[in-house]
Amino acid sequence: MKAEQLWSLFGAEAPYEAWAFGDAPDKLAQLVLQGIKTATASSYPLYEQEGEPIPRPGEYSVILDSEDEAVCIIRDTKVTVIPYREVTAEHAFKEGEGDRSLAYWQEVHEPFFTSEMEEGGLTFTEDMPVVCEEFEVVFRPTLEDEVRVFFAGDATGHDWFHTLRVVRLSRSIAREEQADEELCALAALLHDVDDYKLTGGGFGETTNARRLMKKYGIAEETQQAVVDIIRKISFKGTDTEVPGSLEGKVVQDADRLDAMGAIGIARTFAFGGSRGQAMYDPAVKPQPDKTAEEYKTYSSTTINHFYEKLLLLKDMMNTETARTLAQHRHKVMEDFLTEFYEEWG
């Protein structure tokens, strides 16, 4: 998520700056998140040159990574300005880098300050005043926050609450089927973040899921398991796939259950409206049995979508638990269609 989005999640009415650490932004941001890095240092003359005030205790910053993604919010607790040569071992320790010694701090900061000062047309000396800032992390988003922000404002039926329902359904099916509940919940949480309809990408992409899992330190093995699931769960007409793992089957079932029943009906009309699709046209007949590529570009009426996908789902469930749940939801859709045609006249 971006700095403004993280700031609005935090909910404080105060000014803030957003910035990335100048040297190794990703590594240093991770150290801040881990609570190892609680201080930083910057060249005082550069603030003077820019006419910028130095930070003050109580001020907030959003820490960014190298891709301008917001990592966390910190608040300054202490700011001192001292000559480079007087920076203490205690400060070096709080910077949390390398072996946390003063010698290591000097080893990395001297070349860093030298080149930073050169860029500003200035020269580094050991007498240069350094702004030593100490801070605390006051807000760190969760992976769930990231996904919630990602889907904010969606009006296609793929909003955050869809993902949340799929997470909950996946958990309950996983318990019944004795699948790995946490893996199901994680895959469900990320199942739509690379959906081609929302991102404009291709089938089976996993860029966003990978980026988010990496950012939140998910183990490589788990990342791979999640990616294997979400690549395959989408409905693609006659090219529809079934994930190999039990966990994938569970999440696919949960996603499909949320496409059925009263909520499924509501989501379908929301999607149709968002794409400017007609609700119903008796002259336009349903065309099931499309291949993945045909399905992707094809547009019809929203009522036709029931015959092209929604009414087929009950026979496509992978698990016994979902098959049972699907019966009632299927009936709700059939009853809805009966009423719909009756009122249509």
Q: Give the footprint of ligand ADP on residues 37-66 (CB under 6 A).
A: none
Minimum CB distance to ligand ADP smaller for 223 or for 268: 268
CB of 172 to ligand ADP, least distance (A): 18
Instruction: Give backbone dihedrals phi and psi of 294, rounded to 5 degrees, phi first.
Output: -65, -40
CB of 233 to Ni ion, least distance (A): 8
- Joined together, the tokens standing for residue 248 give 């994938």
CB of 247 to ligand ADP, least distance (A): 16
CB of 262 to ligand ADP, least distance (A): 12
Q: Do residues 92 and 78 make contact, with C-beta atoms less than 8 angstroms apart?
A: no
Site string for ligand ADP, 73-102 (x = CB under 6 A): ------------------------------
Q: Give the footprint of ligand ADP on residues 126-185 (CB under 6 A).
A: 157
Number of helices and strands in the chain (H, E): 16, 5
Confirm or reject binding of residue 255 to Ni ion (CB under 5 A).
yes
Q: Which of 341, 322, 311, 336 is nearest to 255 (CA)?
A: 322
Minimum CB distance to ligand ADP smaller for 84 or for 271: 271
Q: Do residues 140 and 33 make contact, with C-beta atoms less than 8 angstroms apart?
A: yes
Q: Determine the residue type at 234.
A: S
Only one of the segments 126-134, 212-220, 260-268, 334-342 lies at the binding site for ligand ADP (rule: CB under 6 A); that segment is 260-268
DSSP 83-126: EGGG--HHHHHHHT-TT--HHHHHHHHHHHHHHHHHHTT----T
Site string for ligand ADP, 201-240 (x = CB under 6 A): ---------------------------------xx-----
Name every residue whose Cβ is closer than 8 Å to that of residue 321 and which is 6 or more positions away in sequence. Answer: 172, 173, 176, 177, 253
Only one of the segments 11-19, 121-129, 167-175, 262-270 lies at the binding site for ligand ADP (rule: CB under 6 A); that segment is 262-270
